[in-house]
Amino acid sequence: HHHHIAVLAGDGIGPEVMAEALKVLDAVSAKFGFTVSRKEAFVGGAGIDHCGKALPEETIRACEEADAVLFGSVGGPKWEHLPANEQPERGALLPLRKHFGLYANLRPGVCLPALTHASPIKNELIEGGFDILCVRELTGGLYFGQPRFREEEGDDEVVVDTMRYHKSEMVRIAKVAFEAARGRRKRVTSVDKANVLTNSLLWRETMTEVARDYPDVELLHMYVDNAAMQLVRNPRQFDVLVTENLFGDILSDEMAMICGSLGMLPSASLCQGAKDNGLFFGLYEPSGGSAPDIAGKGIANPIAQILSLSMLLRYSLGEKKAADAIDSAVRSVIDQGYRTGDLATGAAGEIRVNTAEMGNAVVAAL
Amino acid sequence: HHHHIAVLAGDGIGPEVMAEALKVLDAVSAKFGFTVSRKEAFVGGAGIDHCGKALPEETIRACEEADAVLFGSVGGPKWEHLPANEQPERGALLPLRKHFGLYANLRPGVCLPALTHASPIKNELIEGGFDILCVRELTGGLYFGQPRFREEEGDDEVVVDTMRYHKSEMVRIAKVAFEAARGRRKRVTSVDKANVLTNSLLWRETMTEVARDYPDVELLHMYVDNAAMQLVRNPRQFDVLVTENLFGDILSDEMAMICGSLGMLPSASLCQGAKDNGLFFGLYEPSGGSAPDIAGKGIANPIAQILSLSMLLRYSLGEKKAADAIDSAVRSVIDQGYRTGDLATGAAGEIRVNTAEMGNAVVAAL
Ligand SMILES: [Mg+2]
Ligand SMILES: [Mg+2]
């Protein structure tokens, strides 16, 4: 197989951790017999510096021509004086999502067995770690629905936002969740507020309908307030969580916090791919930011970027074996004790490494 | 001072734990020199059995004539065959809230220093326990806003719910939060999503406006997704949390779970009192349910009911010293090692007690 990806390293630690992800890409493509041509392009502050804007036209074109986009991170103090809409994050990430209509936000919430100490949850509740995938609808609901307005003045002011979904938006996000669950532990927990919201009635009906096409996947329903409790009480009960935009915003952040190690968490924003083969076009990026405070020092944790590559291989290129191999290699280096500064605790058996050494360790473990 | 309250013990463990709360009321009223006349009335399953409905007219009248309502719990298998709207919970609690327009839901999230082991959060993050008060707007927003509808059919179906607030609804809930903070650690954290929602813009402006009348209270703003993270990461940072209905539904449950001991958590639903003296009319009840599995055995934990009484004294009767005394007495009996079954761990120094013994211990500690 031959694939094309766009590589947008961006700012801060972006280029450093991207270099390690590309090392890993070289290794898995050689091992599993596929090729990936990469088009590198400027984005964020780097886009502003080289091309005058956070999302240059040629960067958009590179993304359009690719099967997927591997994104680093953008932003930093150098560009904070700019108007909000021209700044790296607002000026690059949001327009990219909008340009491609990326409606599915996937965030793994993984706590590896060797890192449960870093989670705020008591060890006995998460022994053996946990592995959740949160699938959040990203382009509908209360954050985008019309009408939204303020009317009247002073003490009589009234304010309105609208939670609006078209059934087709629910169907397509459901499919993403069920497809993902098929490659995992085959359980989807759909989160709604069906005891109160009209939206949730259609949501629940739609999830149940789509589930019929996935008889091998179990579907459970849970109210959003209960989900917020269950994530804390017993995160191991979840495989794939699927929910609408606002609920997903809240729950995915709660879930990430419960994992404990933000430097380990990738994310993906997907839309339907060009071919009807179960693959998605998508933008893959670490959950963390550009970390300008440690940029250029070569000490950042590259694992979130490496796991972003793994997601890209799985969901956009269909190279599942390569993705599984990367996930296993990451687990293995953590089990062996390799720790960048953000993960280190000083415990016996830890091997302190920098960015490149961690990347090399993952390659070696493949 | 002379006060009037309605006592609605309800079903299941309700009457058992209510008996202990009333013992405590006798003790504090004698000690602090006030009197409280109590009108007992049937509610829930007891209402159905004695008067044919979950919320009898005479019960409503008893509540109308009172300064506050001390509520036990309702429901149980005996009444589960009834139509949903006639069942104890739907037929009593919701109509009561609606009849009195109880717009402010107060839920303390308290983890006592001696009970941090019961929290799912790691001990080192909550050493010394924590004490949050969540103030949730209960009658507005997405759960009640119009329009709400489903339109078109099949694959073209569209669904709409509306998040709508009148400024006056925001002002009055803000006042509840600031008044409460004055009697506590004088910090209000207002939770919104002002980077996305029009509702949250007016919410944030209104909180800032009301804060001007409370120069002794600090006001902080936090996004709802961040709040969901911060509750897990560092609950000790919060004093009073105030937020709209939907966000409060999610966050208050997450907070309760983080406390670890549901049998310790009271709640209150308030509206403006008859006099303009900073006091509220309200319904006070344990957060937990009627626990039919242990009803009649005399082993239920009465502390949530006793702390509901403390909230009633504080917010509806203005008997702050009595409320403080009860809160201290509860802390003291827990520190001394008294444990009902739900709290017991078998650790050395624990004194296993039943419902009445726990009530007696609180009275003795007053
Ligand atoms: Mg968020
Ligand atoms: Mg709730």
Whether A32 and A159 share a structural domain? no
Q: Are residues B162 and B231 in the same domain?
A: yes
Q: What's the rounded mean pLDDT across residues B34-41?
A: 98
Model pLDDT, residue B262: 87
Q: Are residues A145 and A165 in the same domain?
A: yes
pLDDT of residue A276: 80
Q: Is residue A299 part of a domain?
A: yes
**A144, two tokens:** 């985008």
The CA A229 to ligand 2 mean position distance, Å, reads: 9
3-state DSSP assignment of residue A4: strand
| Mean pLDDT to the nearest integer, A73-93 | 92
d(CA A231, CA B85): 31
Domain assignment of residue A114, yes or no: no
pLDDT band at A84 (very low <50, low <70, confident <90, very high): confident
Tell me if B155 and A168 make a contact (CB, 8 A cut-off). yes
* Average pLDDT of the residues in A252-272: 95
Query: What is the rounded distance in angstroms from the CA atom of residue A316 to the CA atom of residue B27?
Result: 69
Is A146 in the same domain as A244?
Answer: yes
The b-or-e profile of A144-177 (16+ CB within 10 A means b, else e) is bbeebeeeeeeeebebbbbbbbbbebbebbbbbb
Do the domain assignments include residue A113? Answer: no
Question: What's the rounded Cα separation, in Å, for the pair B50 and B235?
Answer: 44
Q: Nearest residue of B to residue A142 by CA position? A: B197
Q: How many structural domains are present in chain A?
A: 2
Cβ atoms of residues A265 and A259 within 8 Å: yes
Nearest to B248 by CA among B113, B115, B143: B143
Q: How much is the pLDDT for A61? A: 98
Mean pLDDT of chain A: 96
| pLDDT above 90: residue A158 | yes
Last residue of a domain, one of A231, A257, A283: A257
What amino acid occupies position A49? D
Tokens, residue B59: 């019960």
**How far is residue B43 CA from its own chain's centroid?**
18
Q: A98 and A48: one domain?
A: yes
Query: Could you tell me if residue A84 is left (phi over 0), alpha (psi between -120 and 50 degrees) or otherwise beta?
Result: alpha
> Quick check: is A39 catalytic?
no
Measured distance CA(B225)–CA(B359) in Å, rounded: 39
Nearest by CB to B121, from A121, A157, A165: name it.
Answer: A121
Does residue A110 sit within a domain?
A: no
Q: Does A158 touch chain B (CB under 8 A)?
A: yes
Chain B contact for A250, CB < 8 A? yes
- As a whole number of Å, the CA-based R_g of chain B is 21
Domain-ending residue, one of A220, A237, A257: A257
pLDDT, position A289: 87
Q: B249 CB near a chain A CB, below 8 Å?
A: yes
Residue B131 lies in a domain: yes
A53, A161, A186, A249: the active-site residue:
A249
Q: Say whether B232 and A120 touch across the interface (CB within 8 A).
A: yes
Q: What distance in angstroms lies between residue A98's CA and the mean position of ligand 1's atoms? A: 17
pLDDT band at A274 (very low <50, low <70, confident <90, very high): confident
Whether residues B156 and B241 fall in one domain: yes
- Are B93 and B209 within one domain? no
- Does B111 score more than 90 pLDDT? yes
Task: Tell me: do B220 and B131 sit in the same domain.
Answer: yes
Q: Do A250 and B258 touch (CB under 8 A)?
A: no
Does any domain span residue B111? Answer: no
Q: Would you place residue B29 in the very low, low, confident or very high pLDDT band (cuts 50, 70, 90)?
A: very high
DSSP class of residue B343 equals T
Note which residues in 180-209 of chain B have CB less than 8 A from chain A: 193, 196-199, 201-202
Grade residue A1 by pLDDT with cuts at 50, 70 and 90. confident
Ligand nearest to the CA of A247: 1
Query: Do B135 and B220 belong together in one domain?
Result: yes
The pLDDT assigned to A23 comes to 98
The pLDDT of A16-35, averaged and rounded, is 98
Q: Are A326 and A264 in contact (CB under 8 A)?
A: no
- What part of A 103-132 touches B (C-beta under 8 Å)? 119-123, 125
Residue listed under structure tokens 């400024």 = B167
Residue A204 falls within a domain, yes or no? Answer: yes
A-chain residues within 8 Å CB-CB of B154? 167
When pLDDT is averaged across residues B95-99 and rounded to a whole number, the result is 93
Look at residue B364 and tell me whether its pLDDT is greater than 90. Answer: yes
pLDDT above 90 covers a percentage of chain A that reads 94
- At residue B273 the predicted structure's pLDDT band, cuts being 50, 70 and 90, is confident
Instruction: Examine the domain organization and report whether A73 and A133 are in the same domain.
Output: no
Residue where the block lists tokens 């000790």: B236
In a domain, A115, yes or no: no
- pLDDT, tens digit, 9 for 90 and up, residues B149-208: 999 999 999 999 999 999 999 999 999 999 999 999 999 999 999 999 999 999 999 999
**pLDDT tens string A94-125:** 899 999 999 999 999 999 999 999 999 999 99
pLDDT digit string, tens, across residues B307-333: 999 999 999 999 999 999 999 999 999
Please, are residues B85 and B28 in contact by the beta-carbon 8 Å criterion?
no
On the question of pLDDT at B233 being above 90, the answer is: yes
What is the band of B15 on the pLDDT scale with cuts at 50, 70, 90?
very high
In the predicted model, what is the mean pLDDT of chain B?
96
Residue B162: list chain A partners with CB under 8 A.
160-163
In sequence order, the β-bridge partners of residue A6 are: A39, A69
Q: Which range of residues forms the domain containing residue A305?
A: 1-105+260-366
- In this predicted structure, the answer to whether residue A85 has a pLDDT above a threshold of 90 is no
CA A96 and chain centroid, separation: 15
**Residue B317, class by beta-carbon neighbours within 10 Å (0-12 exposed, 13-18 middle, 19+ buried)?**
buried
The residues of B carrying an active-site annotation are 143, 193, 225, 249, 253
Q: Is the pLDDT of residue A175 over 90?
A: yes
Q: How does residue B277 score in pLDDT terms, banded at 50, 70 and 90?
A: confident
CATH code for the domain of A285: 3.40.718.10
CB-CB under 8 Å, A120 with B233:
yes
Question: How many Å lie between the centroid of ligand 2 and the Cα of residue B196?
Answer: 23
Inform me whether the pLDDT recorded for A149 exceeds 90.
yes
Write out the H or E segment, with its range, that includes residue A24: helix A14-32
Last residue of a domain, one of B230, B259, B288: B259
B159/B243 same-domain check? yes
Give the percent of chain B with pLDDT over 90. Answer: 94
* Alpha carbon distances (Å) from B89 to A282, B79, B297: 47, 10, 22
Helix (H) / strand (E) containing A204: helix A198-211
- Give yes or no: residues A236 and A273 share one domain: no
Strand ranges of the sheet holding B266-272, from the earlier edge strand across to the other edge = B35-40, B2-10, B68-73, B280-286, B266-272, B104-111, B130-137, B240-243, B187-192, B218-223
Give the ipTM of the model, two decimals please.
0.96
A163 CA: distance to closest CA in chain B (Å): 5
Query: Percentage of chain A surpassing pLDDT 70?
Result: 100
**DSSP 8-state code for residue B121:** B
